[in-house]
Amino acid sequence: MTFNQSTEIKDSVEEMVKLIAEDISHDGPIAWLRYFENSPQFFMASEGQLVFSNNDSATTFIKNILIKQIRKIDLDWSNIRIDPFTSNFASIAATWHEEITDFTDKKISQGGYFTAIAEKTIHGWKLRNAHWSVLKSK
């Protein structure tokens, strides 16, 4: 992989990360589904636990539970790191912060660290897997 290819991959994956935040903030948690790879290989973990074993389990949870609990999310990334592995795979790491508003207008503020592997598909860059951790309140 040349320097120019590496830079192009880094820039295109970083653009996806920025679009994730914009879409989540605009459309709510349902927007995550646009960025999860629609394949059995997808999985997501949090705090050392497997949360979604595949895309179907993520879709079911988001559509049947999460969108009924969360009215709005304001998601912000910082300290974004993209490391291209190949022309089709890259790692993502970033600090995240979100303000969640439920349907009673209760707001929850939380943040932590997010890591993922992005894969270039025929539909553009998608998250093949992801992990997030939440900072504990002091």
**Per-residue pLDDT at 4:** 80
Structure-block tokens of residue 122:
């025929």
Which strand (E) or helix (H) includes residue 113? Answer: strand 107-121
DSSP 51-106: EESSHHHHHHHIIIIIHHHEEEEEEEEEEEEEEE-SSSEEEEEEEEEEEEEETT--
pLDDT digits over 104-134, tens only?
999 999 999 999 999 999 999 999 999 999 9
Band of residue 138 on the pLDDT scale cut at 50, 70, 90: low
CA distance 14 to 87: 14
**Per-residue pLDDT at 44:** 97
Instruction: Please state which of the four CATH numbers 3.40.630.30, 3.10.450.50, 3.40.190.80, 1.25.50.10 is assigned to the domain occupying 3-134.
Output: 3.10.450.50
Q: Are strands 124-134 and 43-46 parallel, antiparallel or unpaired?
A: parallel
pLDDT digits over 46-95, tens only?
999 999 999 999 999 999 999 999 999 999 999 999 999 999 999 999 99
Nearest partner of 125 among 21, 54, 19, 7, judged by Cα: 19
